[in-house]
Amino acid sequence: MSEQRRNDSALLTTAPARERAVIGAVRLPSQRRSDVEESLQELAGLAESAGATVLERVIQERPGATSAYYFGRGKIDAIGTMARELGANLFISDDALSPIQERNISETLGMKVVDRTALILDIFAQRARTAEGKLQVELAQLTYLLPRLVGQWSHLERLGGGIGTRGPGETQLESDRRVIRHRMNQIRRELGRVGVRRRVRREGRRRRGLPVVALVGYTNAGKTTLLNRLTGSRFVAANQLFVTLDPAARLVERDGRRPFILTDTVGFIRKLPHELVAAFRATLEELTDADVLLHVVDASHAAMDEHIAAVDQLLAELEVADRPTIMVLNKIDRLDTLPPALAERHGAVTISGATGQGIDGLFDRIADVLRPLAGSVVLRIPHGDGGALAVCYEHGTVLNRRDESDHVEVEVELPPAIRASLERYRA
């Protein structure tokens, strides 16, 4: 009996077996092979993050994708033979698949098939911690699932149209669609309420006159490590893709420097699913409120330039590319030498968030960029209005002060919102 209990206990505590995957991509004539290989390397990292073991990688060169399989039918057959020999049970496509392509490949291979979008959604589902993050991921997953429901009920459908074809499959399919649409509307309403609370918090920060600096960058560039370094926080940071999903905002105060709010957002990636961009729009709205962006780049990564381009493209899509931006080349502790031309080419600050190297220089650059955004003004404040003078010292940088018999004249740099509230004192 005790032996049976031990066996049952072992079954309960054994971790689920990792899925064994073959990953593949189509290279079109307009694409460089090195870019496709780098994207496939990244897909392998995503698969590992999701809990799969990558057994083999496949690249097919074609003049164009096929409508039925995306890959050529012959290549799919070859992948099936390879998968059976390797004992694989999962195929992952680096490019987005239509519902029909996904179903056709799955039926031909006799195994589960997902694309990059589904893989990233799975990682997000594993990493979401807050209620808001879980809602955003669920909305993205339902948006992705809705057009794929047809394949879920193929065993109950009949080909053709008209009399004799409207059976239980169609009824179940429409029922599922209604349930999903209803849930999506519920989530949108809940996220709308979250968005209102976010706007209230942002307006509160504006009233306090604190500038906002937002961290952006490719996933695993070291944004969370840098946030911890600048703020003294202890957010979880790891050498993995998409460790941080939930936004964070912290006050940064440094002796002799103007305080500011530092915010962190979800990392970017090439081919970021549109479902995620839409679902996380409320979170990404934090970027629209930022005065300055810190574009954090992993300087030790071989595809650094491609990562920079991907982030720039997403910033343009979010309509925040016009924000003052400081390029931050991170992880220089991993480089034997840093070519001077690298930092000069991007006008970047070089740092190591892990060791603290270059952090003082980063603070200097942030202060330089924030200074003209504040704008200086000369105010004449009566001696009896000490509160207005206190506001100047608390929320601004006093450049000059002259005490007169009936007033104090100060030249002070102030954020626009605070400057407007003191307009009556302008000299």
Do 256 and 293 fall into the same domain?
yes
Do 110 and 241 share a domain, yes or no?
Answer: no
Give pLDDT tens digits for 62-101. Answer: 999 999 999 999 999 999 999 999 999 999 999 999 999 9
CB-CB contact of 243 with 235 (8 Å): no
What is the C-alpha to C-alpha distance for residues 212 and 69, in angstroms, rounded to an integer?
A: 47
Q: What is the extent of the structural domain holding 144?
A: 128-192
CATH number at residue 241: 3.40.50.300
Predicted structure pTM score: 0.73
What pLDDT score was predicted for residue 64?
A: 93
> In the chain, which residues have pLDDT < 50?
1-2, 5, 7-15, 153-166
Looking at 55, 88, 119, which one is the last position of a domain?
119
Give dist(CA 236, CA 128) in Å, integer: 13
Q: Supply the DSSP string of 296-337, one letter for each residue.
A: EEETT-TTHHHHHHHHHHHHHHTT-TTS-EEEEEE-GGG-S-
Q: Does 266 lie in the same domain as 174?
A: no
pLDDT digits (tens, 9 = 90+) for 259-291: 888 988 777 888 777 777 766 665 676 677 788
CA distance 303 to 280: 26
Q: Answer whether residue 248 is part of any domain.
A: yes
Domain count, the chain: 4
